[in-house]
Structures are given as structure tokens and as C-alpha cells.
Amino acid sequence: MPVEWAGFGPELLVTIDRGGAAGLRTQLEDALREAIRTGRLAGEEKLPSSRELARALRLSRGLVQDCYAQLQAEGYLTSRPGSATRVATGATAHGTPPPAHRADPPAPPPAVADFRTGVPDLGLVPRDDWAWAVREACRTMPNAAFDYGDATGQPRLREVLAAYLTRVRAVAAAPDDLVVCAGMAQALSLILPVLRRAGIEALAVENPGPGASTAEQADASGMRVVPVPVDADGLDPGGLRDARAVLVTPAHQWPTGVVLSGPRRQELIAWARDRDGFILEDDYDAEFRYDRDPVGSLQGLAPDRVISLGTVSKSLAPALRLGWIVAPERLRPGLAHAKRLTDRGSPAIDQLALAALMESGRYDRHLRRVRAEYAARRAVLIRALAEHAPHLPVTGLAAGFHAVVTLPAGADETALIERARERGVGLYSHAGLWRGPRPARPRLVLGFGNTSQRAIGAGIAAIADLLQGPGD
């Protein structure tokens, strides 16, 4: 589908050499032919009006009209009364756009239900509130705020975030403790090299735990990954002998859903102090808890040893690419330097919009609204599994928007996922989250953040027979 440009006509890069041997009309015709033949102008793409192109190139309108007429006669352009002049379909090289326009379309999502994990409901993004916040930020920003600014983040957002995290997550933070970043991926890309330069050679991770991207980040930073077992009380600090840094999800472990217990938290902090190490706390979905009040941040217990990471990817939308790092004082200069070298700072208008959203109370209202919806979806999933697969253990539902379903012993997890896809249901494996030996019984991770209540019920019903054990 061609791009449709708004306005009188799109800009078009054409060079005219007034001192050249060739005439002006010949130069224009040759330039347009070449652009069409090479695919720089795609089939059905609109050209500027003769008036606009003549004005832009400082040519007479009659010359441009004659050029267009010649190229129409040759089959390069088409025109209809009352319509813009366009590139003729099939006039580009081999009749197709250039390679950049030929990428295969993404696979369509499953038709019945897609239990993809890690994605909030994209239909619940508070668009009107965000638009208000952006307008408010633009309206109230001083002129100086449109400059590059502080690479660690807009002072106003860091002030608002510090107050919010202190109030909601029991974080011990002042504005100067925060570095604003572009989500979790950038947070790790900033932190891990700083830790490596501090002499830390290994990053411990929960097992099961983060996917391949974390290992790639560690590898790029020159650090090796050490998997540490997770049990009913969370990560076992006894497995940390070979590391001085550990990445944990204490409020709601990914993917098992367990909470890091109080004694384990104390053990972990004692380990960090003893080894001169650091704890990276991924506080990824702590706002969404259903069985009790949210569990406070680990950082509040040891601000000098815990690096707290947060984003709005789950609470608002991944597309905003806004997150933060709450860092111990000794790491902040290195993080600030790394952020400055990386991008000179995250977009100021978006930062100030987030600050306005939080200060106005709209952010809290949005969280209450989506928390109620996710709780309702959680209930639908529990009922559907109880009806269609009552024999399967379901865990990980205390917070967030995913569940872990343990399949019957001997079940072929890969075949089940493929057969479910044939029925229009997207299922996702637990196996890729393990390092080393996997549990005897296979598991599925079912996300319900971006799956409606109706789709959840229909999806489980569509695969009910597949969830039975071999021979049932």
C-alpha cells in the first residue's frame, strides 16, 4: 500500500543543475525516470502537484506540466481528472517496490485467543489521559526544557518518581538517586557495564527466570551468567557463591510467581554486604497484586546494595519506552556517564508528560481501573481451567497477568502448542526459561494481560482435550 502524504503534495528530492549541458526539462524527466526505475518512487505513490514542484524547484509550471505529460505518455505516470499525478503501477524495477518495502508481513495473531505473556492490555492504554499530559507538558514547559537537559532525566520527573516510589513501593529514594531510561533493556545495558568496570565478572539470575536477552546483555558486557535455583521462598542465596551481582524479581518472581520471603531477603542483603555485591531488583509488575497488599521494594531495606529497576511498560504501554533506575550513590556517576554517551537523555516531553500524569492522579486512577480488569480476567482463567482441566496445577496467579499450568507427566509440550495454534489458540512454553535441567513435568505460561475475558474462556474451551494427559 503506497504512503499517502498530507498537504498540497509530498516533498520530492530532485536536483536541477542550471549550469549543466542538459536542458531543465530533460534533467527533470531523467531524474523522475531514475527515481521510478530504481524504486525510490513506488507504484501508486503520489507526486507533488505541478504548481508545488515548480515552486520548490523554481521552474515554470508549464515546464513541469510538460514533463508530467511526457512521462504519462511513456507509461511512468498516471493521472485522472481531479486526482493527483501518481507513479504507474509496475513502472518501478521489476514492477515491485525496493527491498525495504518487501518485508514479509508478521504472522497474524491466533484467531481465538493468544495467551502471550508480558504484554498489558493495549486497548486499555489511557490515550486521552496521555494526550492531555503531553499537551499539559508542552503548555507548561519553560523554553529551557526544550534543550538537551540533564542526561539522567528531567528534574521534575525524578522528583515525582521519587515521591511516588516512596509512597507506593516503600523505596528509599531522593530525586538525585534516579536515572530515567528507555525501559528495562536500556537499564541493563547501562548497569551491567558499570558493574563490570567495578570488577564484577558474573551476573546471577533466577532459574527459571529471564530469557535469552538478559544473557545477551551480560555477554555484551563481558559478564558470565550464573543460574540460581528458585523454590517456594524465591531465589536461594546459597547458590550465589560464584557471583557478586544478582538479578531478581522479588515481588512476583518471573515466571513462577512466588514472593521472595522475608528471611530470604535478609539473607540476600547479607550476601551482598559480605561480597561487596549488588542486587538488581526488577520491580516489573508489583502494582498488580490480588491476594494481599503489594509487597514492598527490596531496595527500601538496603539502598546502598540494591539497584531498583522499574518501567511503565506494564502499567501504561511498552511503546512509551520509559523506565527508571534507583541506584546506590557509588554507581550513579558511572550510570550518568553511560546514559550521556548512549543518547544524551530520554525524550523530555514524554518525561514531563509522565510527571503530569502522576501528579494529576490520573496514573493512580488508571492503575485502579486496569487492576480490576486484570483481576476479572484472572478469575475467568481460573474458572475455565477448573472446568476444562481440573487435574492440572495452576500457579503464579497471585500478581501480574500470567499463570503457570503444569501439564501431565509425559505430555509433549511442543506438539500441544502446535496443535493449539492450528485451532487458533496461542500457547507458550515454560521450557525456554530454564537453564540446565528442566522439571520432569512440562509447563505452559499463560498470559492474560492482552487477552479479553471472552477470549480466555473460548481459548481454554477450544483446547480442553489437548490439556488431558496421555491416554486420558
Predicted confidence at residue 7, as pLDDT, reads: 44
Note the pLDDT tens digit of each residue in 56-108.
888 899 998 998 899 898 889 998 877 788 888 877 765 444 444 455 566 77
Which portions of the chain are predicted below pLDDT 50? 1, 3-8, 95-101
3-state helix/strand/coil string of 380-432 = HHHHHHHHHCCCCCEECCCECCEEEEECCCCCCHHHHHHHHHHCCEECCECHH
The fold of the 24-101 domain, in CATH, is Arc Repressor Mutant, subunit A (1.10.10)
Provide the residue ranges of all domains of the chain, joining segments of one domain with +. 24-101, 113-120+368-467, 125-360
pLDDT at 27: 87
Question: Which of the 8 DSSP states describes residue 198?
Answer: T
If one looks up domain 113-120+368-467 in CATH, what number appears? 3.90.1150.10
Instruction: Output the pLDDT for position 45.
Output: 85
Classify domain 125-360 by CATH number: 3.40.640.10
Beta bridge partners of 212: none
Taking the CA atoms of residue 209, residue 211, residue 212 and residue 214 in that order, the dihedral angle to the nearest 10 degrees is -70
Read off the pTM. Answer: 0.82
What the block records as the C-alpha cell of 299 is: 531496595
| Helix, strand, coil percentages, rounded to 5, for the chain | 45, 15, 40
- Matching fold, domains 113-120+368-467 and 125-360: no
Closest CA to 6 of 59, 46, 44: 46
CA–CA separation, 229 and 49 (whole Å): 67
User: In the prediction, which pLDDT does 11 show?
Assistant: 63
Look at residue 4 in the predicted model and tell me its pLDDT.
Answer: 45
Give the separation between CA 193 and CA 52, rounded to whole angstroms.
52
